[in-house]
Amino acid sequence: MLIDMQSFYASVEKAKVPFYENKPLVVAGDPAKRSGIILAACPLAKKEGVTTAEPLWQALQKCPELIIVKPHMQEYIEVSSQIMKIMESFTDLVESYSIDEMFSDHTSSMHLFADNPIDLARQIQNKIYLATRVVARAGIGENKVIAKLCCDMIAKKIPDGVFHLQKSELHKYIWDKPIRDMWGIGSRMQKHLWKMGIMTIGDIARTPLDRLRAKWGVNGEVIWRVANGIDNSPVTLTTHNVQKNIGNGMTLPRDYSQAWEIEAVLLDICTEVTRRARKSELMARVVSISISGADFDHPTGFHRQLKLDDPTNITTEVYDAAKKILHRYWDRQPVRRVGVSLSELSGATSYQLTLFDDKEHQRAVDKVMDDIKDRFGDISILRASSVTSAGQAVDRSAKIGGHYR
């Protein structure tokens, strides 16, 4: 099964305040800090045309009586963990796909609870609702791809929110849908497929695999396998254990147009990502930064990376690399978003020594700062740039995922 929570953030907020039950409600960022984007909309708001990811002002034009609630990320994480525990009472094979979606394999345990998958899904739905007041939908299939397609395209659109899709019935329920509806197809891929005369998911499924592989390599085979409901990957507890990169980004409270301001933010982010790398005992060979401009109508910015001579998790080394990228590619236009990512990760138990830099001193400084933050909090020790008008470390310390706890 793929279990998906309906309008998750909005449902959690409605569960807390009974007055909201029959009101159109959205969870949105803070308009004063330019993050006034709809993160979740309840079904009543969606009926008025409100959609996820649209600007808050646009949503208010569609539905002036909209109730706006700021996100409470810590609560959403706690409710998600509660739902995970409920799922684990039905099977030990539960895989978190996102904060509000979970795969589960009931092949060996279903007989303990129900005679068929539909009855089992309804039991799960009921238990989740009684505990959290959140409505769950269940897509059921013989593998994860079919369960996901079933949930997204069928279960979410029917009143009881439960459907069991047989692989032999893909042509009946899925193949006539437009390609953009399929998991993994974005706007750019859609345009390329249209040029090839591929309009529906069934068109992808019937296209010779060699043709798609010649065009997109492995990605071509992936979309062909999804369209045909082919997936050999098991539901596993360790799917997300292998970390491929460590990154963080932030939308700025105002347009930053001076180099020192952007450098201050870069240092804040580098401090955060390298601390996470050290905690995971990892080092990175590649440092990437992304910069987005302030003008939505005329996008500017870049995403570039720099390969280091040796892997590192030293804050100042990563920051120096990030600054080099910034000054090489920044067009001096105002900036509204900054991100830093570390990749090509390797273990930090051994590293290259050098005669020319005092890296051991730098590692010692990082360790002391990490220890102080672990004991007394993220902002118990800061670099001076973090307390300037450009620094964001203090503000970010009160947030999870860029939103207030």
Number of domains, the chain: 2
When pLDDT is cut at 50, 70 and 90, the band that residue 32 belongs to is: low
For 394-402, what is the mean pLDDT?
A: 69
Instruction: Provide the token pair at 229.
Output: 């409901």
DSSP letters of 136-194? EEEEE-SSHHHHHHHHHHTGGGSTT-EEE--GGGHHHHTTTSBGGGSTT--HHHHHHHH
Kindly state whether residues 253 and 400 are assigned to the same domain.
yes
- Classified as helix, coil or strand, 265 is helix
Task: Give the per-residue pLDDT at 92.
Answer: 94
DSSP letters of 104-140? E--TTTGGGT-SSHHHHHHHHHHHHHHHH---EEEEE
Residues known to be catalytic:
101
In a domain, 21, yes or no: no
Do the Cβ atoms of 33 and 13 come closer than 8 Å? Answer: no
**How many residues can be counted in the chain?**
405
Name the residue with higher pLDDT: 192 or 403: 192
Kindly state whether residues 255 and 381 are assigned to the same domain.
yes
Kindly state whether residues 325 and 383 are assigned to the same domain.
yes
If residue 80 lies in a helix (H) or strand (E), which one and from where to where?
helix 73-88
From 201, 227, 253, the end of a domain falls on 227
For 289-301, what is the mean pLDDT?
A: 81
The pLDDT tens digits of the residues spanning 115-154 come to 999 999 999 999 999 999 999 999 999 999 999 999 999 9
Task: Give the per-residue pLDDT at 168.
Answer: 95
Where residue 344 sits, what CATH number does that domain have? 3.30.1490.100
In a domain, 162, yes or no: no
In a domain, 80, yes or no: no
The pLDDT tens digits of the residues spanning 205-264 come to 999 999 999 988 999 999 999 999 999 999 988 766 566 889 998 888 888 999 999 999
Kindly state whether residues 390 and 253 are assigned to the same domain.
yes
Kindly state whether residues 289 and 387 are assigned to the same domain.
yes
Kindly state whether residues 394 and 260 are assigned to the same domain.
yes
Where residue 211 sits, what CATH number does that domain have? 1.10.150.20
If residue 232 lies in a helix (H) or strand (E), which one and from where to where?
none
Distance, in Å, from the CA atom of 59 to the CA atom of 26, rounded to the nearest integer, reads: 9
Place of tokens 């990169």: 245
In a domain, 99, yes or no: no
In a domain, 31, yes or no: no
374 is known to lie in a ligand binding site: no
Does the pLDDT value for residue 398 go beyond 70?
Answer: no
Beta sheet of 38-41, edge-to-edge order = 38-41, 25-28, 67-69
In a domain, 250, yes or no: yes
From 227, 259, 293, the end of a domain falls on 227
In a domain, 194, yes or no: yes
What is the pTM assigned to this prediction?
A: 0.74
When pLDDT is cut at 50, 70 and 90, the band that residue 349 belongs to is: confident
Kindly state whether residues 294 and 364 are assigned to the same domain.
yes
Range of the domain at 263: 245-404
Kindly state whether residues 222 and 249 are assigned to the same domain.
no
Name the residue with higher pLDDT: 403 or 48: 48
366 is known to lie in a ligand binding site: no
Task: Give the per-residue pLDDT at 281.
Answer: 92
Task: Give the per-residue pLDDT at 240.
Answer: 60
Kindly state whether residues 190 and 272 are assigned to the same domain.
no
Task: Give the per-residue pLDDT at 30.
Answer: 67
In a domain, 161, yes or no: no
Kindly state whether residues 259 and 358 are assigned to the same domain.
yes
Please state the separation of Cα 111 from the chain's center in Å: 34
Kindly state whether residues 254 and 366 are assigned to the same domain.
yes
Kindly state whether residues 355 and 213 are assigned to the same domain.
no
Share of the chain above pLDDT 90, in %: 71
